[in-house]
Amino acid sequence: MDVDELVAGARRGEARAVARLISLVEDDSPKNDDALRQVSAALAPHTGRAHVVGITGSPGVGKSTSTSALVAALRAQDRRVGVLAVDPTSPFSGGALLGDRVRMQDHATDEGVYIRSMASRGHLGGLAGAAPQALRVLDAAGCDVILVETVGVGQSEVEIAGLVDTTVVLLAPGMGDGIQALKAGILEIGDLFVVNKADRDGANTTRREIRSVVAARESGWKPPILLTVATTGEGLDEVVAEIARHREYLEDGELERRRLARVRREIEALALGSLRRRMGDVTGDARLGALAADVLGGRSDPFAAADTLVEHL
């Protein structure tokens, strides 16, 4: 396998090369370490162009349906689109489980769309360690916009904001989402709010609830709150327009700031993962056994023993 050839293929838009590269960066097992590093180095000069957009919200609000509709709206503008569905709670990547969730059959044969799902449980650094590599591949492959959709529940909903340039928070009327969202801190991370299922009662009430919270924000960007019906595509063009407007807003220094923070976290996650792996190696080490015996025998204490262990890493 020639990494440079694969990267060149991906940059020419070859879907197979893109898929191969993502598989390579996803595999963080020790035997793949060299390949992972080579790919990462080869991609580095070709990244930074794509607008990375996160789609988040509680299960059932319509993330999959909206992502698919957004792809259609972006393709209508002839933009090249990547979709990364991440499930931080699952150890299984790329399989049918996630593939089924992403309602992307409409786009499966479109050469301007790359769709990929990945799971990151057990990956070094979790979501923060795994997803950025896949995003780099899609970026280098010439995607204008990359949509990152969270699958699964919990922390990932908020964590996603740390991976993307623009965060779109989806809510739906009548799900008690207003109050739940406040609790989850999800209203703090949104650059755009979308009240999906606007064909149902209560969409305007939900919009007002969001507005009352968001209006208190001090920052320069006032997040728009849009209504959509993802199943018919209603309102999606406006979402695309507001996403583009947010990107323009970010150009004024904020994009650089967000991306720097992101890369810092990424480096930190990788470094911590690497330390943890070394710690794992150490666990089988005779030194740890000796230190434990010293602590148990009263000749040392756990803090001093831990310091000794870290010094030897």
We find the least distance from the C-beta atom of residue 102 to ligand GDP, in angstroms, to be: 9
CA distance 22 to 39: 9
We find the least distance from the C-beta atom of residue 205 to ligand GDP, in angstroms, to be: 16
We find the least distance from the C-beta atom of residue 222 to ligand GDP, in angstroms, to be: 24
Which is closer to ligand GDP, CB of 161 or CB of 230? Answer: 230
- Sort 143 into a burial class: Cβ within 10 Å, 0-12 / 13-18 / 19+: buried
We find the least distance from the C-beta atom of residue 151 to ligand GDP, in angstroms, to be: 7
Which is closer to ligand GDP, CB of 81 or CB of 195? Answer: 195
Which is closer to ligand GDP, CB of 80 or CB of 197? Answer: 197
Which parts of the chain fold into alpha helices (H)? 3-11, 15-26, 33-43, 63-76, 96-101, 126-140, 156-159, 177-184, 186-189, 203-214, 236-250, 254-283, 286-296, 302-311
Which is closer to ligand GDP, CB of 6 or CB of 131? Answer: 131
For ligand GDP, the binding residues (CB under 6 A) are 59-65, 196-197, 199-200, 229-231
**72, 76, 80, 85 alpha-carbon torsion, rounded to 10°:** -10
CA distance 226 to 197: 11
Which is closer to ligand GDP, CB of 66 or CB of 120? Answer: 66
The closest of 144, 152, 8, 21 to 91, measured between CA atoms, is: 152
We find the least distance from the C-beta atom of residue 152 to ligand GDP, in angstroms, to be: 10
